[in-house]
Amino acid sequence: MTLLLAGDIGGTKTILRLVEASEKPKLKTLYEERYPSKDFPDLVPIVQQFLAAAKTKEIPQKACFAIAGPVVNNTAKLTNLAWFLDSSRLQEQLGIAHVTLINDFAAVGFGILGLEKKDILTLQEGKQNLEAPIGIIGAGTGLGQGFLIKTGDMYQIFPSEGGHSDFAPRTELEFQLLKYLLDKHDIQRVSVERVVSGMGIVSIYEFLRDRKIAPESPEIAQVVTTWEREAGKEKSVDPGAAIGTAAVKKSDRLSEQTMQMFVDAYGAEAGNLSLKLLPYGGLYLAGGIAPKILPLIENGNFLLNFSSKGRMRSILEDIPVHVILNSQVGLIGAAISASRL
């Protein structure tokens, strides 16, 4: 039996899980807790408090922490948090023999290997090939992209910066959106992340609002205006979530049109990634947005735009496409990564 510590470390919250690994690939959760990250000066006191609360007599032999930010040589500076983490320091101060840090989207890649049937929703069955690559795309705060390659009986996980590739408009309205964003932000290019992400939802909404495509409801207008006033400050509202919820409920026409444009662009970018990877092992939609707007993802527009690639349509129609429903996929991935140390 091996005792593992898995963590999902973000600027807002830190989630820790104590895991028992007895036989591969089974991992048994023993204890889990979440903490507000900003209440602590560093990760070490959180882990110490967690292990004390878990009442374990043993120190975990291995630990893996998924970090919301870039990881370089097992060190990380967290986004939106004044923490600098170093695996060597964590090993020494926590007394854990093996500690590794991985990017949070890499953790999602590992987590896919531990998902159960109930954790995913299949949009397109396709023709699965277990030896082929697995693709990941995840719209949330930003737009993550990555892939898994099978080597022998195991997968190697590769995060990427594909979300920072260029936004490729396809319709007259999308070309207008591109011009709007270039002018508004006084920039030379627009990344796809500026459109397919939480901030992208707000950008699309502002564009359609300013073009007077549909009238603005007082409820959503108040949320968006508050968010705009708080530019450069800590946000008290989440306009992307408000717009998405209104669109699902069909309570606001401008929000519905915003999310239709968002889903179209999301599907198109997922298709672009799939053309590059040919992930017949499956393409997985990660991130926090897709599970919250499932009716909009399932209505057909996502897959229509996903496969709308001219003579490449038949290739994309054979790729299995899934939505990850389990919000703790990154924590699952951190535990799997720890078990491999």
The CATH number that applies at residue 10 is 3.30.420.40
Confirm or deny that 12 is annotated as ligand binding: yes
Question: 100 with 189, same domain?
Answer: no
pLDDT attached to residue 95: 95
Measured distance between the N- and C-terminal CA atoms of the chain, rounded to whole angstroms:
14
Confirm or deny that 163 is annotated as ligand binding: no
| Integer Cα distance of 134 and 125 in angstroms | 14
Q: Does residue 145 sit within a domain?
A: no
pLDDT attached to residue 241: 94
Average pLDDT score over residue span 240-249: 96
pLDDT attached to residue 186: 95
pLDDT attached to residue 21: 85
CA angle 265–147–177, rounded 5-degree value: 15
Question: 306 with 334, same domain?
Answer: no
pLDDT attached to residue 23: 67
Confirm or deny that 9 is annotated as ligand binding: yes
Average pLDDT score over residue span 310-339: 96
| Integer Cα distance of 253 and 249 in angstroms | 10
pLDDT above 70: residue 237: yes
pLDDT attached to residue 10: 86
Instruction: Name the band, by pLDDT with cuts 50, 70 and 90, for residue 78.
Output: confident
Confirm or deny that 10 is annotated as ligand binding: yes
Chain segment 141-166, per-residue pLDDT in tens: 889 999 999 999 899 999 888 999 99
**Domain that residue 7 falls in:** 2-115+326-340
> How many residues make up the chain in this entry?
341
The pairing of beta strand 98-103 with beta strand 62-67 = parallel
Q: Does residue 125 sit within a domain?
A: no
pLDDT above 70: residue 24: no
| Integer Cα distance of 78 and 82 in angstroms | 7
What is the chain's mean pLDDT, rounded? 94
Confirm or deny that 135 is annotated as ligand binding: no
CA angle 209–211–213, rounded 5-degree value: 70
pLDDT attached to residue 1: 78
Q: In the sheet that 75-77 helps form, which strands lie side by side, from edge to edge? A: 71-72, 75-77, 84-86
pLDDT above 90: residue 109: yes
- Secondary structure tally for the chain: helices H, strands E: 13, 14
Chain segment 260-308, per-residue pLDDT in tens: 999 999 999 999 999 999 999 999 999 999 999 999 999 989 999 999 9
pLDDT attached to residue 199: 93
Question: 330 with 269, same domain?
Answer: no
How many domains does the chain contain in total? 2
- Higher-pLDDT residue of 235 and 134 is 134
Which CATH number fits the domain that encloses residue 199?
A: 3.40.367.20
Question: 166 with 107, same domain?
Answer: no
Confirm or deny that 324 is annotated as ligand binding: no
Q: pTM value?
A: 0.92
Question: 335 with 303, same domain?
Answer: no
| Integer Cα distance of 14 and 37 in angstroms | 6
Question: 77 with 205, same domain?
Answer: no
Q: Confirm if 329 and 8 have CB atoms less than 8 A apart.
A: no
pLDDT above 90: residue 55: no
Question: 334 with 288, same domain?
Answer: no
Question: 319 with 330, same domain?
Answer: no
Average pLDDT score over residue span 244-254: 96
